[in-house]
Every structure is written in C-alpha cells, then in structure tokens.
Amino acid sequence: FEPWNEPAAKPLIQFQNVTKRFGEFTAIDNLSLDIYEREFFALLGPSGCGKTTMMRMLGGFETPTEGKILLGGQDIAPVPPNKRPVNMMFQSYALFPHLTVYDNIAFGLKRSDMPKSEIAGRVEEMLKLTRLGKFAGRKPHQISGGQRQRVALARALAKAPKLLLLDEPLGALDKKLRTETQFELMDIQERTGTTFVIVTHDQEEAMTVASRIAVMNDGLLVQVDTPGRIYETPNSTYVADFIGDVNIIEGTAQPAGEGAYTVAWAEGQPALSVQSATELGAGDRCFFAIRPEKVAISAEKPADRPNAVQGKILDIAYLGNISTYHVELPGGVIIKAQTANDRRISRRSFTWEDSVWLSWTATAGVLLAN
Ligand code: ATP
C-alpha cells in the first residue's frame, strides 16, 4: 500500500544544486531535491550528514553558498526567516512555562498583524485540531508530556504555515508515547494539508510518518523514495543497512540473461540465483542484500527453492510476535532469518545447535553494485 501518488504532486520546495560550505568544509554538496505540497517528508541519516543544515536553510537561518531554494516557484534567499511561510516545531520544553496552553498557542498570533477578533477563533481551531480543548486554561507543568507536545504543534501551526519543520521533535518522549505521537502527527498533517519536513535519525520513525524519505550521507542524497521502495529496493548497501535489518553477502556476479544472475560467494557453497534490476557485468563484484524475514528456515531441504544453504543455529532472539535466528554456515558466515510466531502458520520451532536449512526465492533480495 503506497498512499503517496507522485504524478499528482506539485513541488512546494525545490533545492536546485544547493551547496553549503562552512569555511573549507562542505556540509551540503550540490544537492537537488523537490518536496511536494501536502507531503510528509523525512530527512534521515547519521549524525553530521547535513540534515539540520537543510532545515536551517529552509527556515532562513543559513543561506546556501551556491544554488537556489525555491518555495512555490520563488527564490526564498531574499526573504528573512520571520517573513517566510515556514515554521518550526520545537521540543515541548520550548513552551512558555508561565503561560496557559491557550496563551502559548495564541502567542505568535498576538505578535502578528492578525486582528484580535480572529485570534480567538484561530486558537479554538488549533485546540480542537490537537484535542486540547479541556486543557486550555492549564500551564505546561499541569499537563502530560504528550499533551505538551501537542501544544507545541498547535503553536507551530497556528499561523497556518505552508511548511512545518520538525527537527527531532519526539526525541524527549519515551518509546510508547513517541509511537502514539507519531500517529497524531500523521493525522494532523493530513487534516491540515501542511507540508511537514521531519529530521530524524530514527529510521522506524521516518518509515512510520513519512510519505517519502531522503536517506543522506556526507551532504549527499543517497536515495529518495517511499518507505516501501526504500525498504524493498534499496539502491546501495548503505541504504539497505541504514533502514531495517539486512543480510549482506559479497560475491561475484555472472549474468544469466533477462535480469537473472548467479552469484559466486563462498567456497563450497552453491552460487546464488538472483533476479535483479541492477545491471552488472560478468565478474563484477556485487552485494546480495536480503531481509531476514525473506529467509525461510526449515528442518528439511526445501525442494522448490532456487537458493538453499545449510547451517547451525547460534542464537535465537524471541520478540513475541517474531523470532530472529542467527544461523552459522560452514566457513563462518552468519545469516539472520526471521519468522512470525503465529501458531496457525508455524509448524515447528527450532532451538540452539539445530542443523537447519535457510532458503529463499530468486526475487527475495536485491543485487547491489556498492
Ligand atoms: P545531527 O544528527 O548530529 O544533528 P546533522 O545531520 O543534522 O547531524 P548538521 O548539523 O547539518 O548535521 O551538520 C553537518 C555538518 O556540518 C557537520 O559536520 C557539522 O559539524 C558541520 N556544521 C554545521 N554547522 C556548522 C557551522 N556553523 N560551522 C561549521 N561547521 C558546521
């Protein structure tokens, strides 16, 4: 299910060959990217890859050294931060402690040129949107962490920005509240139709909330795509490894026609059979990436699968709904296989030291050049 329908989308933000240098250091390197209207877009990458710099350029707190950023087709370079239809949601501790929820939300509106008569209506609308009506008269310390987060969101959306920037907005929340708040963010984004750009280094968060994800490394975009395509068809081992759990097997490719390849990868092991969209030449070094849940585990060798290897169970991680097995092959390669713990479908379970077969189809993984 891919709710994001690209052909219908209209760009709100366009980075055009943007480079940002700090002295000698290049933080953003000739980057081009469109972010669409009504989109929930995530910038994902390790610390120092340039995510915050991208946000600061959108907010107007940094200017590109080269290139342009357009908003609705207009270059935003000459527009100062407070004149941009852009707002930033801060973590909840940025609320004013001495003001009520109502006054926190009204704060920015009172300082704008919005007529007083309109402010009350707008605040009411925001209270309703974030389900904070009952708490309007309370101070931040009299409400829960999740409610404070919603006040911060209401305050950021009060002036109806075209673009809302969220820099690690949920970092201070515990795991459970974080997950709940992610769903609230998605719901509110959908209802307001505001474009949201979130920065996170939490890949699960990006997968949950975003219509599209940009995976960054060293000031470059490595892959920009829907969560589903990033997960199913990563363009590099960097992306495969960054998003979710993966097995990566290095080998040598041999084209077998019509996108089929065999991959030699270890002494004494049969070559892998892979159907792949990546074009590789005979003898090219390559990487086969396969998610643990695509690797089946069985006691007997399956007759109908083109790839089957035998090994011994080293470790089992039981997580309730799923179990992950670490299986060591002769020669020392370890492969992770994951199974659903559903009594209706799993016929048996395995234990340490069991000798098992791991198998997968030709289309279960992807072949990558780097
Ligand atoms: P994190 O997840 O840790 O916040 P990030 O991906 O947001 O990291 P940025 O804050 O965008 O990374 O920084 C990108 C790079 O640019 C880093 O190497 C950082 O040290 C450098 N950098 C950022 N701002 C400045 C500055 N004002 N002067 C010099 N270097 C800077």
Q: Is the model more confident about 127 or about 267?
A: 127
Q: What is the position in ligand 1's atom list of the atom closest to the CA of 55? A: 11
Q: How do 212-217 and 260-264 pair as beta strands?
A: unpaired
Q: Where does the chain have alpha helices with state H? A: 51-59, 101-110, 116-129, 145-157, 175-192, 203-209, 227-232, 237-242
Q: Measure CA 59 to chain center.
A: 21
Task: With cut-offs at 50, 70 and 90, classify the pLDDT of residue 1.
Answer: very low
Q: Could you read off the pLDDT of 104-157 as tens digits, one per residue?
A: 999 989 988 888 889 999 999 999 999 999 999 999 999 998 899 899 999 999
- In this structure, of 85-94, 196-205, 256-265, the range with the lowest mean pLDDT score is 85-94
Domain boundaries, the chain: 6-240, 245-368
Mutate to test the pocket of ligand 1, among 20, 22, 200 (most ligand atoms within 8 A of CB): 22
Q: Which of 276, 270, 277, 286 is nearest to 359 (CA)?
A: 270
Counting beta carbons within 10 angstroms of the beta carbon of residue 98, is it exposed (0 to 12), middle (13 to 18) or buried (19 or more)?
A: exposed
User: 190 φ, ψ to 5°?
Assistant: -65, -40
Domains 6-240 and 245-368 share a fold: no
Give the CATH number of domain 6-240; options: 3.30.590.10, 3.40.50.300, 3.40.50.20, 3.30.1780.10.
3.40.50.300
pLDDT, residue 111, reads 87
Decide: 1 in ligand 1 pocket, CB within 6 A: no
Distance of alpha carbon 341 from alpha carbon 64, whole angstroms: 51
Among 22-36, 112-126, 258-272, 347-361, name the most confident range.
22-36
Distance of alpha carbon 210 from alpha carbon 214, whole angstroms: 10
Decide: 25 in ligand 1 pocket, CB within 6 A: yes
E strands present in the chain:
11-22, 25-36, 40-44, 66-71, 74-75, 86-89, 163-167, 195-200, 212-217, 220-225, 247-257, 260-264, 272-275, 285-290, 296-298, 307-318, 322-328, 334-340, 355-360, 366-368
Task: With cut-offs at 50, 70 and 90, classify the pLDDT of residue 7.
Answer: low
List the residue whose alpha carbon is closest to atom 30 of ligand 1. Answer: 22
What is the whole-number distance in angstroms between the Cα of residue 218 and the centre of ligand 1?
10
> What CATH number labels 245-368?
2.40.50.100
- Percent of the chain predicted with pLDDT > 70: 95
What is the whole-number distance in angstroms between the Cα of residue 197 and the centre of ligand 1?
18
Q: Which residues contact 42 (CB under 8 A, 6 or more apart)?
A: 197, 198, 199, 200, 205, 206, 209, 210, 212, 213, 214
Whether ipTM > 0.90 holds is yes
Distance of alpha carbon 21 from alpha carbon 71, whole angstroms: 22
Q: Is the model more confident about 6 or about 234?
A: 234
pTM of the predicted structure, to 2 decimals: 0.90
Decide: 43 in ligand 1 pocket, CB within 6 A: no
Decide: 51 in ligand 1 pocket, CB within 6 A: yes
pLDDT, residue 20, reads 98
